[in-house]
Amino acid sequence: MSLAEYRDKRSGRGPEPRGRRSRGRKAGGPHFVVQHHAASTDHYDFRLEIDGVLVSWAVPKGPSANPRDKRMARRTEDHPMDYETFEGVIPEGEYGAGRVIVWDRGTYADDGEHETAEALERGHLSFTLDGEKLRGGYALTRIRQGKDETWLLVKKSDAEARRRPVGDRPESVLSGQTLDDLSESS
Ligand code: MN
């Protein structure tokens, strides 16, 4: 799931960032980003900063604020930190061809009992998100290892839990544009 896999999948000629590990800490806690990606299938990419890379999961239905929803999250290759501000059109023929917007971003606090990298290895992450759309406690739990490594993303029951879907705010938190706006400009 390394950055080498990120680089291998891409020609390097597309608009996406080069795959380099980021050094140095930023203030305010590790970052998270959720990108809405209209590729061959529509999905959300959920990414947590862990040890200088964005550890990534593709979530077909997107995150939910409802603790009753168990959202399937397929682990994908780590992405470089500068991917957190990437939005635009990945051209036809490139890996992941399609449109991308930054659907949410912010920082998170790990509230698990292990270091985040160790918790990832063990297959259970517990964290609190401080984003513009996603807030409060979430857990990611691995349910299948191997080639199709699969996890479940679930909202914890807390003051930020909601019954209504979070998909009712489709716009980018960076630019305000929607996926539909991107298709018109491409
Ligand atoms: Mn994707």
**Residue 166 alpha carbon to ligand 1 centre in Å:** 19
**Residue 150 alpha carbon to ligand 1 centre in Å:** 15
* Dist. CA 115–CA 14, nearest whole Å: 35
pTM of this structure: 0.92
**Residue 44 alpha carbon to ligand 1 centre in Å:** 7
Q: Kindly state the tokens that stand for 65.
A: 């604020």
Q: What are the pLDDT digits (tens) for 158-179?
A: 999 987 766 678 999 999 999 9
User: Domain extents for the chain?
Assistant: 3-12+29-164
- Contact in structure between 127 and 145 (CB atoms under 8 Å): no
**Residue 154 alpha carbon to ligand 1 centre in Å:** 19
In angstroms, what CA-CA distances link 158 with 23, 116, 141, 144? 34, 22, 18, 27
DSSP tag of 60: T
**Residue 83 alpha carbon to ligand 1 centre in Å:** 12
Q: What are the pLDDT digits (tens) for 73-122?
A: 999 999 999 999 999 999 999 999 999 999 999 999 999 999 999 999 99
